[in-house]
Amino acid sequence: MRVFNFSAGPATMPLEVLERAQSELTDWRGSGMSVMEMSHRSGEFVSIAAQAERRMRDLLSVPDDYAVLFLQGGATGQFSAVPLNLASPGAPAAYLNTGSWSAKAVAEGRKYVDVRVLADEKESNYSTVPEQGSLEVPADAAYLHYTMNETIGGVEFPYVPDAGEVPVVTDASSTILSRPLDVSRFGVIYAGAQKNLGPAGICVVVVRRDLLDRARPEVPAALDWKAMADADSMLNTPPTLAWYLVGLVLEWVEQQGGVAEMARRNQAKADLLYGAIEASDFYSNPVQPAARSWMNVPFLVPDSALEKPFVAAAAEAGLSGLAGHRSVGGMRASIYNAMPIEGVQALVDFMTDFEQQNG
Amino acid sequence: MRVFNFSAGPATMPLEVLERAQSELTDWRGSGMSVMEMSHRSGEFVSIAAQAERRMRDLLSVPDDYAVLFLQGGATGQFSAVPLNLASPGAPAAYLNTGSWSAKAVAEGRKYVDVRVLADEKESNYSTVPEQGSLEVPADAAYLHYTMNETIGGVEFPYVPDAGEVPVVTDASSTILSRPLDVSRFGVIYAGAQKNLGPAGICVVVVRRDLLDRARPEVPAALDWKAMADADSMLNTPPTLAWYLVGLVLEWVEQQGGVAEMARRNQAKADLLYGAIEASDFYSNPVQPAARSWMNVPFLVPDSALEKPFVAAAAEAGLSGLAGHRSVGGMRASIYNAMPIEGVQALVDFMTDFEQQNG
């Protein structure tokens, strides 16, 4: 029996996608082989790959002057790729620090560029994002980097920062396709797949083509956006199985009604869960309301000794993956596109029961 | 109906492995979720990952003073990782050039080190490897890099080069687990999975632990062997689905009788196919007999106009992926571990028929 899986990533996937992949796993549509056995140069796989790219472009309305890449190495690979592709050694680059993931991007960036942290939400205990309009982005910065959503802290930007002529680069790993996004506001959008797009092991990078001429010579080939764009992301053997699965997820999003419908569902799910937390004196969420994540909802109980019993009893009830990140404790429910509202309702019902027994 | 797939990689996989993965794809052993949906920090996935590592260690008899890593970025990622982890900027490093893949490793190495090509088989038209004992490896070289098997040229080293105290680094992508290997002769062995180990999107790196302190500060985190070794290859989210599939392939190799049995089968397959080529005046193989690959068998017909008809008629007969690499033309049969001898026999029978009709 399938459980409701609230894991932050790798995360739950649509059952229809898994069943489709299952049915094709030993023989893809009469080809006599699994997708994972196909040459990436074969007509079959090239069409699978191109279709995934087309769906990504359609769903996000990606303008034509942007390349869409499918790379290995995850968002962590892009923490290095961003400075290596966009900035000279030691050039200034602006970063916003709103939690664990942006701090990692900052640390990796320091290997390559002169990182200027324009806003550091450590002082707010990572409970919010910088106020809109408060940022002064240096005009000589190679780019402004920020993390659209902090998976661990449950903090999400409700706006796109304005950096003037400086290209805005964002890690959209946990928000991509969860709501509409104006791609033209960005220089680069990158996202590890394992939250809203598919399995771990593939990362989508959407990059404005005029930024493809800035790479330093020593960028590793596997992280070289220009070389990858020129080779349709097949400079070397791509992660074909993961790419195919991302394509199936994109097809599913399309069939459900696209990003607008995802946004409608995700807002309803977030309203339900945050509403239950707000209505209770037992549960709490530490994030300022305007910056609360639609995707990752951390919550606390009055006594941390109740955390383990909560997580264990929830797992017994078929609600899996609710422990908070080991660095912060508490609980966390990740409610990505593939989590149905029935799962959130089951969680809210369980929370009510747990409060009655322990409150 | 499944075909015999002679693709050079991604390549055919054992049907038993695909069927096992298929049966577990929506619910892994009662966990209520697919492996690809599991948190990489979950007990279930950590045990899947550890078991794959243990099997790799057992099958290759990896000594305890070697780390075994499961990384993203493919062998191409390791073309950069090798110099970045082992050598200072501009330090001398020795390379052997025996074909297309070693040439790519050389080109990538030149971004980071002073590449010394000790032997260049371009002059032999990549039809052999350097004679054993002919190499003079500079004592100040950071490492000696060679490609154990050239997938495109069908050239394989029948020996391990001796480099004295200089660590030997090898790209074993298309030979790993095809026959026994004395790991202790190497500093580093790396292999993209998509030939003998599983799907594309994961790369195994076996590295002697005393070499883990040589990385330069600017190695990207996703390619940082030391950081990955310290984190059990989970510095960031690993390609969990691919790792699991590699584990299933390793279990299959174990069940078949291990690497010694793979070697017996692979020798029989290679003998059968090269024997048929040798016995014919119609087919030819350009590689010197001592350096012929057990894994990738290129062959020519007397008239290149017959190549397309050969490949097309073979595909009709259920023998797929026989076109030579686009850079060299001709035909090529890749006969990795998962290709049964029945497939090679079917190919030889087809070749005989084709010769009778066209010879």
Sign of CA dihedral A283, A289, A291, A294: positive
Would you give the DSSP letter of residue A68? E
Strand ranges, E, within chain B: 4-5, 66-71, 92-97, 114-120, 144-147, 149-150, 155-156, 168-171, 188-192, 203-208, 296-299, 319-320, 331-334
Choose among A144, A152, A142: nearest CA to A173: A152
Would the CB atoms of B72 and A15 count as touching at under 8 Å?
no
Question: What phi-psi label fits residue A213: left (phi over 0), alpha (psi between -120 and 50 degrees) or beta?
Answer: alpha
Angle, helices A240-256/A15-23, rounded to nearest 10 degrees = 130
Q: How far apart are CA B200 and CA A201, in angstroms?
A: 10
In single-letter form, the type of residue at position A349 comes to D
B175 annotated as belonging to a binding site for a ligand: no
Strand partners, A331: A299, A323
- Averaged pLDDT score across all residues of chain B: 97
Kindly state the average pLDDT of the residues A221-231. Answer: 98
Q: Contact at 8 Å (CB) between A212 and A225?
A: yes
Please report, for chain A, the start and end positions of each structural domain, with discontinuous segments joined by +: 15-255, 257-358
> Catalytic site residues of B?
101, 171, 195
Nearest beta carbon to residue A73 from set B26, B73, B320:
B73
Choose among B176, B151, B344: nearest CA to B249: B176
Residue A239: pLDDT band by 50, 70, 90 thresholds? very high
State the residue for tokens 């607008």.
A260
pLDDT of residue B359: 82
A76 annotated as belonging to a binding site for a ligand: yes
Q: Contact at 8 Å (CB) between A66 and A188?
A: no
Residue A246: enclosing H or E segment and its boundaries?
A: helix A240-256
With a pLDDT cut of 90, the percent of chain B lying above it is: 97
| A221: chain B residues, CB-CB within 8 Å | 76-77, 79-80, 108
A151 annotated as belonging to a binding site for a ligand: yes
Tell me the pairing of strands A168-171 and A144-147. Answer: parallel
> Domain A257-358 in CATH: superfamily?
Aspartate Aminotransferase, domain 1 (3.90.1150.10)
With a pLDDT cut of 70, the percent of chain A lying above it is: 100
Q: Which residue of A has its CA nearest to B112?
A: A218
Would you give the DSSP letter of residue A164? T
- CB of A316 less than 8 A from some CB of B: no
Would the CB atoms of A236 and B34 count as touching at under 8 Å?
no
Q: How far apart are CA B306 and CA B357, in angstroms?
A: 11
Nearest beta carbon to residue A15 from set B26, B198, B202:
B26
pLDDT of residue B324: 93
Condensed to tens digits (0 to 9), the pLDDT of residues A11-26 reads 999 999 999 999 999 9
Q: How far apart are CA A65 and CA B313, in angstroms?
A: 42
Choose among B154, B195, B173, B175: nearest CA to B299: B154
Q: Is A28 annotated as catalytic?
A: no
Preferred mutation among B17, B34, B38, B152 to probe A, highest tally of A CBs within 10 A: B34
Q: How far apart are CA B28 and CA B254, in angstroms?
A: 21
Q: Is A294 annotated as catalytic?
A: no
| B346: chain A residues, CB-CB within 8 Å | none
Q: How far apart are CA A8 and CA A297, in angstroms?
A: 10
A101-A107-A109-A111 Cα dihedral, nearest 10 degrees: -150
Choose among B48, B68, B342, B104: nearest CA to B228: B68
* Cis? peptide before A10, omega within 30° of 0: yes
Condensed to tens digits (0 to 9), the pLDDT of residues A117-149 reads 999 999 899 999 999 999 999 999 999 999 999
| A236: chain B residues, CB-CB within 8 Å | 74-77
Residue B315: pLDDT band by 50, 70, 90 thresholds? very high
- Burial class of residue B161 in the structure, from the number of CB atoms within 10 Å of its CB (0-12 exposed, 13-18 middle, 19+ buried): buried
Looking from the CA of A159 toward its CB, the CA atoms found within 13 Å total: 12
- CB of A10 less than 8 A from some CB of B: yes
Nearest beta carbon to residue A18 from set B1, B34, B242:
B34
> Is this complex scored with an ipTM above 0.90?
yes
| B192: chain A residues, CB-CB within 8 Å | 237
pLDDT at B1 over 90: no
Q: Contact at 8 Å (CB) between A322 and A314?
A: yes
Strand partners, A95: A117, A145
Q: Contact at 8 Å (CB) between B96 and B117?
A: yes
Condensed to tens digits (0 to 9), the pLDDT of residues A330-349 reads 999 999 999 999 999 999 99
Dmax (CA) of chain B: 62
pLDDT at A328 over 90: no
Residue B252: pLDDT band by 50, 70, 90 thresholds? very high
Question: Chain B, 120-149: which have a CB under 8 Å from a chain A CB?
Answer: none
- CB of A352 less than 8 A from some CB of B: no
Q: Both ends of chain B: CA-CA distance in Å?
A: 31
Kindly state the average pLDDT of the residues B97-110. Answer: 97
| A200: chain B residues, CB-CB within 8 Å | 36, 40, 237-241
In the structure encoding, which two tokens stand for residue B52, read together?
């794959």
pLDDT of residue A327: 84
CATH C-level class of B15-255: alpha beta
Q: Contact at 8 Å (CB) between A188 and A208?
A: yes
pLDDT of residue A284: 97
Would the CB atoms of A2 and B77 count as touching at under 8 Å?
no
Choose among A36, A351, A173: nearest CA to B22: A36
pLDDT of residue A40: 97
Nearest beta carbon to residue B36 from set A2, A10, A320:
A10
Q: Contact at 8 Å (CB) between A70 and A222?
A: no
Q: Contact at 8 Å (CB) between B285 and B154?
A: yes
pLDDT at A1 over 90: no
Would you give the DSSP letter of residue A2? P
Q: Contact at 8 Å (CB) between A212 and A48?
A: no
Condensed to tens digits (0 to 9), the pLDDT of residues B197-239 reads 999 999 999 999 999 999 999 999 999 999 999 999 999 999 9
Q: Is A195 annotated as catalytic?
A: yes
Choose among B199, B254, B339, B236: nearest CA to B59: B254
B332 annotated as belonging to a binding site for a ligand: no
| B322: chain A residues, CB-CB within 8 Å | none
- CB of A200 less than 8 A from some CB of B: yes
- CB of B111 less than 8 A from some CB of A: yes
**Edge-to-edge, what's the strand order for the sheet holding B188-192?**
B66-71, B203-208, B188-192, B168-171, B144-147, B92-97, B114-120
Residue B285: pLDDT band by 50, 70, 90 thresholds? very high
- Burial class of residue B133 in the structure, from the number of CB atoms within 10 Å of its CB (0-12 exposed, 13-18 middle, 19+ buried): exposed
| A218: chain B residues, CB-CB within 8 Å | 111-112
> Domain B258-358 in CATH: superfamily?
Aspartate Aminotransferase, domain 1 (3.90.1150.10)
State the residue for tokens 């903090």.
A155
List the Cα angle A64/A68/A74 in 5-degree steps: 160
Residue A296: enclosing H or E segment and its boundaries?
A: strand A296-299
Phi and psi for A69 in degrees, rounded to 5?
Answer: -110, 150
Looking from the CA of A75 toward its CB, the CA atoms found within 13 Å total: 32
pLDDT of residue A359: 81
Q: How far B132 CA lies from chain A's nearest CA (Å)?
A: 31
Kindly state the average pLDDT of the residues A40-57. Answer: 98
Q: Which residue of A has its CA nearest to B322?
A: A39
Residue A206: pLDDT band by 50, 70, 90 thresholds? very high
pLDDT at A266 over 90: yes
Would the CB atoms of B222 and A34 count as touching at under 8 Å?
no
3 state SS of B171: strand
Choose among A234, A249, A246: nearest CA to A200: A246
